[in-house]
């Protein structure tokens, strides 16, 4: 067997798998990426620890009944969110600006002044603090990894945190608004989870519900392989996400894209007893075509970057990756020859002088570029390209800046 066979995607000969959104038994595997680090966010203290980090199988399956895309090989036991987990993007001005704007628009639309807001999967509570600034009465974060220690200094005391997984019993918190951002994509049984949220609200509830996840249609169209990683086991498009919420007892569903169309936002209301809608499923056919094209585009994309990095390195150029989040780590791990990237730059001090799981790349602050001047800077998120180019100019570094 060829040594590269593990990482090469290919058409699967595996039989059908059960859809975890609608229980259709005929979902089909369309991509097998082999073994990848089970946590692309985790940063290790030594290169040795990073290289020997546990791996799990990253496989993608598509349900041609509801459009859901998921990893049927996902094993939640392999994901450890407690250890050195750093998911906060709160260090980016661009992301903060988005969160602040979103908090304001939600507060305006749902008239949240003086109300109780519950956030599921609140992490360090960054977003809840943004909502708090809108004058809500009470904010409660429910998250087993809630870390209120990270609160900003000027926050008031109207926030509280419950370090538990969200359950039906948390309905007793009596929210006036319930939100959940960047969590559903980590849950292997999203139908069960959305059902729990619905049940927590009770039969006659009129509590608005808001969910946000990465948009997968963009990932498929752009063959954004760095947005497919182990911790994300559930992948949604606007239509498949709406279908799931409809199936589990929500109505008045509205979806929109934001953050340069990278994020998918869903607003909905609980269905009152007796009511039901059933949307049409025509979108699934179009999605099936996108899924078909994805594998081919994936191959081309990954080959293109492999060639680019290889040629630059052969010419004696120093290539660095800017962005030590999951995208940067997925990139160096997925692209053959990704180990020829010199190191990874990140502005978040919590990530600096750590090592990326899998390849073991060192993550350094921008200051490291003064002594190890790069020829090429690969930007992991095009949205930050201007911000990064400005920083390089201010450091008098004239590298080629390319967005991946
Ligand atoms: Zn399905």
CA of 243 to the centre of ligand 1 (A): 9
The predicted-structure confidence for 317-356, as pLDDT tens digits, reads as follows 999 999 988 789 888 988 989 999 999 999 999 899 999 9
Question: What pLDDT score was predicted for residue 298?
Answer: 86
Question: What pLDDT score was predicted for residue 279?
Answer: 64
CA of 65 to the centre of ligand 1 (A): 5
CA of 208 to the centre of ligand 1 (A): 25
CA distance readout (Å), 36 to 21, 51, 53, 56, 377? 24, 11, 9, 6, 24
How many whole angstroms separate alpha carbon 321 and alpha carbon 308?
13
Give residue 28's pLDDT band: very low, low, confident or very high (50, 70, 90): very high
CA of 14 to the centre of ligand 1 (A): 18
Run of H or E including 39: none
Question: What pLDDT score was predicted for residue 3?
Answer: 38
CA of 189 to the centre of ligand 1 (A): 11
Give residue 225's pLDDT band: very low, low, confident or very high (50, 70, 90): confident
Q: Are 230 and 37 in contact (CB under 8 A)?
A: yes
Give residue 8's pLDDT band: very low, low, confident or very high (50, 70, 90): very low
The predicted-structure confidence for 97-151, as pLDDT tens digits, reads as follows 999 999 999 999 999 999 999 999 998 888 999 999 999 999 999 998 887 665 5
Which residues, other chains included, contact 159 with Cβ-Cβ below 8 Å and sequence gap of 6+? 125, 128, 129, 132, 138, 139, 140, 141, 148, 151
pLDDT for 267 beyond 80: yes
Judged by average pLDDT, the poorest of 84-93, 253-262, 329-338, 368-377 is 84-93
For the chain, domains (ranges, CATH) are: 316-403 (3.40.50.720)
Question: What pLDDT score was predicted for residue 329?
Answer: 87
CA of 373 to the centre of ligand 1 (A): 49
User: Using N-to-C axis directions, what is the helix angle for 238-247 and 190-200, rounded to 10°?
Assistant: 50
What are the residues facing 210 on neighbouring strands?
A: 179, 267
3-state secondary structure of 295: helix
Question: What pLDDT score was predicted for residue 65?
Answer: 94
CA of 336 to the centre of ligand 1 (A): 33
Judged by average pLDDT, the poorest of 29-38, 164-173, 193-202, 251-260 is 29-38
CA of 351 to the centre of ligand 1 (A): 37
Q: What average pLDDT score do residues 164-172 get?
A: 96
């Amino acid at each position: 067997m060829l040594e590269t066979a593990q990482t090469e995607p290919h058409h699967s000969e595996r039989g059908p798998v059960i859809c975890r959104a609608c229980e259709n038994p005929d979902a089909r595997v369309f991509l097998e990426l082999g073994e990848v680090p089970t946590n692309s966010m985790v940063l290790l203290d030594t290169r040795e620890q990073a290289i020997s980090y546990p791996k799990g199988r990253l496989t993608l399956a598509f349900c041609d009944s509801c459009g859901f895309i998921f990893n049927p090989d996902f094993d939640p036991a392999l994901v450890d969110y407690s250890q050195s987990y750093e998911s906060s993007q709160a260090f980016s001005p661009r992301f903060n600006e988005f969160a602040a704007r979103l908090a304001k628009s939600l507060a305006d639309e749902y008239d949240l002044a003086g109300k109780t807001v519950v956030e599921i999967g609140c992490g360090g509570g960054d977003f809840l603090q943004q909502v708090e600034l809108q004058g809500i009465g009470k904010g409660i974060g429910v998250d087993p990894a809630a870390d209120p220690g990270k609160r900003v200094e000027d926050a008031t005391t109207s926030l509280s945190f419950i370090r538990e997984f969200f359950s039906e019993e948390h309905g007793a918190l009596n929210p006036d608004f319930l939100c959940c951002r960047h969590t559903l994509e980590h849950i292997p049984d999203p139908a069960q989870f959305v059902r729990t949220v619905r049940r927590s609200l009770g039969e006659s509830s009129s509590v608005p519900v808001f969910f946000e996840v990465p948009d997968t249609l963009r990932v498929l169209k752009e063959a954004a392989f760095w947005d497919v990683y182990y911790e994300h086991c559930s992948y949604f498009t606007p239509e498949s996400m709406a279908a799931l919420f409809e199936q589990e007892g929500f109505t008045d569903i509205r979806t929109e894209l934001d953050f340069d169309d990278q994020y998918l936002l869903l607003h909905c209301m609980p269905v009152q007893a007796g009511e039901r809608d059933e949307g049409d499923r025509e979108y699934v056919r179009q999605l099936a075509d996108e899924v078909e094209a994805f594998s081919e585009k994936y191959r081309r994309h990954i080959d293109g970057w492999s060639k680019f990095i290889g040629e630059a390195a052969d010419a004696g150029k120093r290539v660095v990756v800017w962005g030590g989040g999951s995208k940067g780590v997925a990139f160096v791990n997925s692209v053959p020859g990704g180990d020829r990237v010199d190191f990874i730059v990140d502005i978040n001090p919590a990530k600096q002088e750590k090592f990326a799981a899998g390849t073991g790349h060192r993550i350094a602050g921008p200051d490291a570029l003064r002594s190890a001047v790069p020829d090429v800077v690969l930007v992991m998120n095009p949205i930050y390209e201007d911000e990064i180019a400005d920083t390089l100019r201010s450091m008098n570094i004239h590298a080629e800046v390319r967005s991946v």
